[in-house]
Amino acid sequence: MTIYDTELILTRAVTITGTRSTGHRSLAEYATLFADYLRPFADRAHFYIGGARGIDSLTLLWIAGNTAADITVVVPGTVDQQPAEARQAIARARDRIKEIVELQAPELGSSAYHARNRWMVDRSSMTIGFPKGDDSASGTWQTLNYTADQGKPRLIVPV
């Protein structure tokens, strides 16, 4: 039994996925969405969050500031390769992050991000997704569909 198996039994491991395009809503609106849809899962939870800009950075900061949940940030390459917004969010929440996983992908293309998302889902018992639109080619929808293919629940919160 690995640490991840134990975690699935003792806590609720949750992958967060979502759009990188978040400028169409205010920070207050996102805070309300996160309070409504993340807080109910936060007790005894461990959140897996990608280290990108947009929903990843916003949920990281909200969870770090509003819950006692464990947080793992997962990046396809290294943290230094992430956009400035994401690196700043990780730095701000560093004292609340339990683990940073750098998957060391040789190239940061779509396949590296999809591999990161599958890595998180494989270690989670459910996924909460914040998609913008319904483009099935988006990383958010691919992650949500992968979650469903694994027979795991998913909560979809359109933004």
- Contacts by 37-43 with C-beta closer than 8 Å and gap 24+? 37/128, 37/155, 37/157, 38/62, 38/63, 38/67, 38/128, 39/66, 39/67, 41/12, 41/14, 41/126, 41/128, 42/66, 42/67, 42/68, 42/69, 43/69
pTM of the model: 0.91
Domain ranges for the chain:
3-156
Confidence of residue 6 (pLDDT cuts 50, 70, 90): low
**Nearest CA among 77, 50, 68 for reference residue 59:** 50
pLDDT digits (tens, 9 = 90+) for 131-154: 998 877 788 999 999 999 999 999
pLDDT at 9 over 70: no
**Nearest CA among 70, 124, 60 for reference residue 99:** 70
- Distance of alpha carbon 42 from alpha carbon 57, whole angstroms: 17
Under 8 Å between Cβ of 106 and 115: no
Type of residue found at 114: H
Under 8 Å between Cβ of 147 and 15: yes
Residues 6+ apart with CB under 8 A from 7: 13, 46, 123
What angle (nearest 5°) sits at the alpha carbon of residue 93, between those of residues 90 and 96?
125
Confidence of residue 44 (pLDDT cuts 50, 70, 90): confident
Q: What is the pLDDT of residue 139?
A: 86
H or E element: which one contains 121? helix 110-122
Fold classified for 3-156: Rossmann fold (3.40.50)
Confidence of residue 77 (pLDDT cuts 50, 70, 90): very high
